Copies of this chain bind each other. A is one copy, B any other.
């Protein structure tokens, strides 16, 4: 794979993952998971894990990094939603 194409992937990863960060910070700060759907985040998390598997299989470094980071962020929100549900 050309190095230049991997750079496109890294910038893409930065933008799509970066777009997700404010939601995570907002949730961590306010500790409020109201309005966040468990089904949506669950579906997203499983999807991201499959993209990660796909990235590993096609040996795409930018896809691997993007999905590890986004997967971690999604998992943290998912855990907060579940903890919040258990509490109530």
Q: How many residues belonging to A are interface residues under a CB distance threshold of 8 Å?
A: 31
A47 CA / B20 CA spacing, docked (Å)? 11
Number of copies: 2
Q: A22-B37, A37-B22 are in contact. Are A5 and B43 (CB under 8 A)?
A: no
Do most interface residues of chain A lie in helix, strand or loop, or is the interface mixed?
Answer: helix
A8 touches B60 (CB 8 A): no
Point out the residues of chain B lying under 8 angstroms from A40, CB to CB.
19, 22-23
A16 touches B47 (CB 8 A): yes
User: At the interface, yes or no: A11 with Cβ under 8 Å from chain B?
Assistant: yes
Give me the interface of A with B, judged by CB distance under 8 Å.
1, 5, 8-9, 11-19, 22-23, 37, 40-41, 43-44, 46-48, 50-51, 53-54, 57-58, 60, 62
